[in-house]
């Protein structure tokens, strides 16, 4: 039986991955320091055969040494995420993203374990050739703009993982995620879809940043974790980078209107200048579209869940949350407990 270690497993994507792997009969260990993850995301998995967790930072090398030695494959998802968080806490973004990945790769090397690294479409930066292909150039902004620290830190993670593959033959796979969305994603760190849904359900203004003409392709988390699972089980994926995302493009204004209509809301749609929403001089992307030719050719993957279906899932999730106390980070004191792994 395969034993998977998921770093950041109490996060939005990690908890969906844990659920999927358990359903496939795998053993799953989650390590998460609950910095942006929520214990509530994995609470329903507690007690399931084959599931265990440690509430711990991945930079704790003693804990990571033991957990990596016991698993077969590592899904490395732990990271500082969310544009708002990145802009307001750039030190943490850089230190966690680079330092955490260093520990994961060093430990994986010690025990020769396969590692899947969750990376990001931010790496393409201000690229102007659409769709983005994995081997395209990375066009980042200046170091004086905090936003780019995220892409730069993730680029170092990719370089480092590929270096371990090249120099010592470590089996690594890199997955660049494009705007993953779905139930359990929180709006606290800036992500647009949960924010729009929460505002629509509360009858509060839906805040569209800039003129709303910027576009994104949102991919349902269930499609994303299916891609991760399949790539982990495909030997030919080792040493490669894969875009994972949807090609259904939508402008942010259109998204706001769709959310409002599907939630049956009368919320006003309000335009907020970027400088006010983030910080002076903030740079946004006008478009971001993945090429998924590489992953499709290798494993036949493509998203199957539409954006409208995803919006409905998120609306249903937040309606349920509203009945049970809202979108609050849970268990901030849990870090003091030893965890169970």
Contact track, ligand UDP, 274-303, x by CB under 6 A: ----------x-------------------
Strand-pairing partners, residue 243, are 176
Strand-pairing partners, residue 114, are 73
The answer to whether residues 26 and 49 touch, using CB atoms and an 8 Å cutoff, is no
Min dist CB 196 to ligand UDP, Å, is 7
Give, in degrees to the nearest 5, the angle at Cα 287 between 283 and 292.
Answer: 130
Of residues 154-193, those binding ligand UDP (CB under 6 A): 179, 190-192
Among 146, 185, 207, 220, binds ligand UDP (CB under 6 A): 207
Per annotation, catalytic residue among 150, 164, 189, 278: 150
Min dist CB 192 to ligand UDP, Å, is 4
Contact track, ligand UDP, 117-146, x by CB under 6 A: ------------------------------
Indicate if 150 belongs to the active site.
yes
Residues 17 and 51: their CA atoms lie apart, in Å, by 12
Q: What is the DSSP letter of 215?
A: E
Min dist CB 288 to ligand UDP, Å, is 6
Letter string b/e over residues 308-334, b meaning 16 or more CB atoms within 10 A of that residue's CB: eebbebbbebbeebeeeeebeeeeeee
With 0-12 / 13-18 / 19 or more C-beta atoms within 10 angstroms meaning exposed / middle / buried, residue 181 is buried
Is 195 near ligand UDP (CB under 6 A)?
yes
Of residues 10-69, those binding ligand UDP (CB under 6 A): none
Among 86, 200, 252, 295, binds ligand UDP (CB under 6 A): 252
What stretch of H or E contains 295?
helix 293-299
Residue 165 or residue 195: which is nearer to ligand UDP going by CB?
195
Residues 217 and 287: their CA atoms lie apart, in Å, by 9
Min dist CB 203 to ligand UDP, Å, is 16
Residues 221 and 53: their CA atoms lie apart, in Å, by 21
The answer to whether residues 42 and 110 touch, using CB atoms and an 8 Å cutoff, is no
Among 48, 60, 88, 214, binds ligand UDP (CB under 6 A): 214
The answer to whether residues 197 and 311 touch, using CB atoms and an 8 Å cutoff, is yes
Residue 115 or residue 152: which is nearer to ligand UDP going by CB?
152
Residue 105 or residue 252: which is nearer to ligand UDP going by CB?
252
Q: Which stretch binds ligand UDP (CB under 6 A): 20-28, 168-176, 203-211, 299-307?
A: 203-211
Residues 284 and 263: their CA atoms lie apart, in Å, by 27
What 3-state DSSP class applies to 217? strand
Q: Which parts of this chain interact with ligand UDP (CB under 6 A)?
A: 83, 179, 190-192, 195, 207-209, 214, 216, 252, 284
Which residues are marked as active site? 150
């Amino acid at each position: 039986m395969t034993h998977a270690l998921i770093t950041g497993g109490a996060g939005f994507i990690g908890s969906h991955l844990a659920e999927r792997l358990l359903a496939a009969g795998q053993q799953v260990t989650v390590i998460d320091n609950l910095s942006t993850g929520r214990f509530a995301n994995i609470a329903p998995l507690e007690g399931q055969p084959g599931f265990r967790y440690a509430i711990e930072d991945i930079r704790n090398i003693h804990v990571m040494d033991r957990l990596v030695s016991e698993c077969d494959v590592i899904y490395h998802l732990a990271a500082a995420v969310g544009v708002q968080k990145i802009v307001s806490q750039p030190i943490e973004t850089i230190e966690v993203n680079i330092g955490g990945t260093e520990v994961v790769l060093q430990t994986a090397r010690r025990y020769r374990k396969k590692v899947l690294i969750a990376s990001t479409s931010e790496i393409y930066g201000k690229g102007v050739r659409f769709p983005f292909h994995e081997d395209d150039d990375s066009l980042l902004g200046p170091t004086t703009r905090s936003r780019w620290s995220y892409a730069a830190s993730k680029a170092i993670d990719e370089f480092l993982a590929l270096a371990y593959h090249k120099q010592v033959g470590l089996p690594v796979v890199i997955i660049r995620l494009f705007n993953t969305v779905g139930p359990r994603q929180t709006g606290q760190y800036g992500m647009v879809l949960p924010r729009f849904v929460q505002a629509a359900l509360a009858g509060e203004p839906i805040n569209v940043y800039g003129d709303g003409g910027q576009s994104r392709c949102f991919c349902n988390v269930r499609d994303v974790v299916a891609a991760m699972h399949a790539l982990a089980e495909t030997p030919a994926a080792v040493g490669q980078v894969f875009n994972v995302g949807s090609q259904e493009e939508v402008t942010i204004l259109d998204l706001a209107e769709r959310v409002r209509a599907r939630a049956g809301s009368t919320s006003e749609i309000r335009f907020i200048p970027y400088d006010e929403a983030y910080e002076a001089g903030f740079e946004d992307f006008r478009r971001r579209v993945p090429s998924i030719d590489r992953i499709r050719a290798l494993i036949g993957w493509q998203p199957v869940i539409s954006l409208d279906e995803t919006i409905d899932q998120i609306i249903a999730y937040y309606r349920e949350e509203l009945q049970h106390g809202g979108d609050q980070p849970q268990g901030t004191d849990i870090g003091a407990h030893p965890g169970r792994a």
